[in-house]
A and B are shown apart, each in its own frame.
Chain A
């Protein structure tokens, strides 16, 4: 038992030394080191359609052809101000859709005063990206997203939301 404790202390010291050298190592051990779980259902679930997923997430955006103050090119330029992207980058594609936009699950007004219910909007979808989600210290590698949807008011150009689910 005493030898075991000595070994444990020695191992802990090694980790401490590595932490100082690497700068990135945890200063304190997580209480539960990340261990991937063998979920039997992983990848067994059929991937829902984009439309079904949007509905599930409370995002409504039926197409619209109404007259708007911003055209699609202006909307894309505006979207770049809110979420920087390089449309010339290899693999990156950009599309613009004019919609009536609603966040079903959202209550109240956005900080800019807009109420995200049935707003005439441009949804600028940028595909081919690679950016990381946030996760936590005990939830392993955060997800990698490959898209971003920037939603802006089609008349004022104000930002409504940015969302990604791929």
Chain B
């Protein structure tokens, strides 16, 4: 995995500071995240993520997923669980997007996910396809050639859309994110991953630290 050196981290921090100072009004419109990121070329990722039932308001959503992506573009392949406003309980879902081939994007659900259970969500890039697996069983695939990009990072996140949406987990019943792994492009083997944690909302909590492989998240409003 590629790692940023000290100078690289200083540069990234300063670049982000400049960007943020200019973009503060837009940040309020962005989705909110609670999870972790690892950078470096890869051919997929996986993690066992517990399914809980967070609160979602009209126009919002709350989800948890693994994703391989081309950072800086709107390019990603994603599998996990998602609760939309009309769902009484989260559904399994896959989603992908390409800003290189602009008509290539899809969202799809595959039924109600069981609450309180850890589910193995897996992105598996083979020679020709991005495969989406739930507990080891393929639920969908998309040709790599249709998307037209290669990943340079993985994300393992809970995500909400509206400020009033809660992310999974409470102080008394934290949501487990267990054993994140990334797939090497060279030998096709999944290795334990180590993330840089993030949480973008004051009510979101996490016990992830730099280098975590497993962690728990919560929302103080649950």
Contact of A27 (CB < 8 Å), options: B19, B143, B199: B199
Given known pairs A110-B110, A133-B97, A162-B108, the reply for A12 and B17 (CB within 8 Å) is: yes
Interface residues in B80-117 by Cβ distance below 8 A to A read: 82, 84-87, 91-92, 95, 97, 99-103, 105-114
Known contacts: A14-B21, A134-B82, A134-B159. The answer to whether A140 contacts B73 by CB under 8 A is yes
Give chain A's interface secondary structure class.
loop
In the complex, what's the smallest C-beta–C-beta distance from A135 to chain B, in angstroms? 6
State which residues 35-71 of A face B: CB under 8 Å.
35-37, 39, 41-43, 45, 47-48, 53, 56-58
CB interface residues, B 116-155, toward A, < 8 Å? 137-143, 146, 148, 153, 155
Question: Which residues of chain B are near A24, meaning CB under 8 Å?
Answer: 27-28, 30, 32, 163, 200-201
Q: How many A-B residue pairs have CB under 8 A?
A: 221
A69 to B19, CA, bound (A): 57
Chain A 64-108: CB-based contact to B (< 8 A → 1; otherwise 0): 000000000000000011111000000000000000000101111
Known A11-B18, A133-B107; judge A139-B4 contact (CB<8 A).
Answer: no
Asked if B13 is at the interface of the complex by the 8 Å CB criterion, the answer is yes
Indicate if B20 sits at the interface (CB-CB under 8 A).
yes
Contacts of A36 in B (CB 8 A): 72-73
CA distance A106 to B30 in the complex (A): 32
A23 to B161 alpha-carbon distance, docked (Å): 14
Q: Which of A83, A111, A139, A161 contacts B114 (CB 8 A)?
A: A111
Q: What band does the interface of chain B fall in when counting residues whose beta carbon is under 8 Å from A?
A: 35 or more
The minimal Cβ–Cβ distance linking B14 to chain A, given in whole angstroms, is 5
Given A31-B37, A138-B69, are A82 and B103 neighbors across the interface (CB < 8 Å)? Answer: no
**Can you show 22 pairs from A to B with CB atoms below 8 A apart?**
A8-B17, A11-B14, A12-B17, A14-B21, A27-B200, A28-B198, A29-B20, A32-B153, A84-B85, A103-B140, A105-B141, A107-B138, A133-B105, A136-B67, A136-B159, A139-B97, A143-B74, A161-B109, A161-B110, A163-B106, A163-B108, A164-B108
Given contacts A26-B27, A31-B4, A133-B105, 4 further A-B contacts (CB under 8 A): A8-B10, A32-B39, A39-B100, A53-B103
